Amino acid sequence: MTGALLRATGISVHRGSRLTLQPTDFLAHAGETIGIYGPNGAGKSTLLQALAGLLPLASGSIALKGQILGRELPPLAYHRRIAAVFQQPLLLRGTVGHNVGLGLALRGVGRIERQARVKPVLEQLKIDHLADRNIATLSGGEAQRTSLARALVLEPEVLFLDEPFAALDQPTRRRLVQELAVVLRARRMVTVFVSHDLAEASILCVRCLIIDAGTIIQEGSPQGIVQHPGTRRVAEIVGSDHLWDARTNSGQ
Ligand SMILES: Nc1ncnc2c1ncn2[C@@H]1O[C@H](COP(=O)(O)OP(=O)(O)O)[C@@H](O)[C@H]1O
Ligand SMILES: [Mg+2]
């Protein structure tokens, strides 16, 4: 064993009559943040949801620390070891503190321990001053910080982030990404980060997968892929410079 924390082997997903994820391998080690980048409809969310055990697989298997999901590792046990944040914060009524502690409460963690665990995470995400605020009064950035806190407080082994900043304005987004990079560096989990912004992915990820039409078409560092796209399609997707030249030459 190479000690992969999360490994998928030949996973594919059918939606309707189509294979929206072609058989795909995926490997991540503890402490790694892996970017998934590609155009709209490429299959980024499908891959993330498949890895998170949220979609039935047409083929293949997923293993966490060598335990195969659905075999040695029951789905409920898997879901207790992972957490996910999506583009739209899924917050319930109540305060920030209540929302962040909710997952712990559902896992049977008592009030005193909950408070002790929630506080440092609120501090890390710079929302400790908002602990008693009703979530209905939050800005988009504050709401997404709350969603991240709610996921991180669970101390997941794998954190799935599906375009968590896409709905935010650019300055808020840049700040949050930079702060998240610091938060993630201090942890030993795997983070799977879907983005349609490669600059954003390059702040968080050393390794990035480029996906197109349900297939991973290149893998490498975000900078390496931009500088050396393996195919014309990758160059188109990552917007490499020579294509920019080609577009200007063609008069567009
Ligand atoms: N619930 C669904 N039912 C059928 N097709 C879907 C569903 N969700 C997504 N798809 C299709 O699967 C493909 C990949 O979608 P998705 O993974 O959401 O792409 P991305 O996240 O890269 O924008 C798209 O062609 C999309 O239309
Ligand atoms: Mg998506």
- For the Cβ of 41 lying below 6 angstroms from any atom of ligand 1, the answer is yes
**Whether residue 40 has its Cβ less than 6 Å from ligand 1:** yes
Please give the distance, rounded to the nearest whole angstrom, from the Cα atom of residue 20 to the centre of ligand 1.
7
Mutate which of 13, 15, 163, 216 for ligand 1 pocket (most atoms within 8 A of beta carbon): 15
For residues 35 and 86, give the distance between their C-alpha atoms in angstroms, rounded to a whole number: 15
Q: Alpha-carbon distance 64 to 18, whole Å?
A: 28
pLDDT at position 3 is 80
Compute the distance from residue 162 Cα to the ligand 2 centre, in Å: 7
Q: Which residues contact 173 (CB under 8 A, 6 or more apart)?
A: 165, 200
Closest ligand to Cα 43: 1
Q: Are 173 and 200 in contact (CB under 8 A)?
A: yes
The alpha carbon of 195 and the centre of ligand 2 are apart by a number of angstroms equal to 8
Q: Which CATH architecture has domain 1-81+158-165+187-241?
A: 3-Layer(aba) Sandwich (3.40)
69 token code pair: 């999901």
Distances 47 to 25, 54, 155, 165, 222 between C-alpha atoms, Å: 10, 10, 22, 18, 19
The predicted model gives 78-102 an average pLDDT of: 92
Confidence at residue 251, expressed as pLDDT on a 0 to 100 scale: 44
CA of 43, closest atom in ligand 1: 17
Higher-confidence residue: 240 or 52? 52
Amino acid 2: pLDDT = 56
The pLDDT of residue 213 is above 80: yes
Q: How far is the CA of 15 from the centre of ligand 2 (A)?
A: 14
Closest CA to 143 of 155, 133, 158: 133
Instruction: Tell me the best of 12, 13, 20, 36 to mutate to test the pocket of ligand 1, counting ligand atoms within 8 Å of each CB and taking the most.
Output: 20
Give per-residue pLDDT as tens, 18-72: 999 999 999 999 999 999 999 999 999 999 999 999 999 999 999 999 999 999 9
- For the chain, how far is it from start to end, CA to CA, in angstroms? 51
Tell me if 45 CB under 6 Å of ligand 1: yes
- Name residues whose C-beta falls within 8 Å of residue 91's C-beta, 6 or more positions apart in sequence: 99, 135, 143, 146, 147, 150
16 lines ligand 1 (CB under 6 A): yes
Which residues have C-beta within 8 Å of that of residue 175, sequence separation ≥ 6?
141
Burial (0-12, 13-18, 19+ Cβ within 10 Å), 85: buried
Closest CA to 156 of 188, 183, 179: 188
Q: Tokens standing for 242?
A: 């020579």
Nearest by Cα to 48 from 21, 68, 66: 21
Q: What is the whole-number distance in angstroms between the Cα of residue 35 and the centre of ligand 2?
A: 13
Strand boundaries in 98-214, DSSP class E: 158-162, 190-195, 207-212
Q: Where are the domains of the chain?
A: 1-81+158-165+187-241
Beta bridge partners of 11: 24
What per-residue confidence (pLDDT) applies to 252?
45
| Predicted pLDDT of residue 90 | 80
Query: Is residue 50 within 6 Å of ligand 1 at its C-beta?
Result: no
Q: How much is the pTM?
A: 0.93
Tell me if 194 sits within 8 A of 22, measured CB to CB.
Answer: no
- What's the whole-number average pLDDT of the chain? 92
Place 91 in a pLDDT band, splitting at 50, 70 and 90: confident
- Checking if the pLDDT of 248 tops 90, the result is no
Tokens coding 142 = 């504050």
Taking residues 123-129, what's their average pLDDT?
96
Any idea of the CA torsion for 201, 204, 206, 209, to the nearest 10 degrees?
-40
CA of 3 relative to ligand 1 center, distance in Å: 32
Percentage of the chain surpassing pLDDT 90?
Answer: 85
For residue 41, how far is its CA from the centre of ligand 1 (angstroms)? 5
User: What is residue 85's predicted lDDT score, i.e. its pLDDT?
Assistant: 95
pLDDT of residue 189: 96
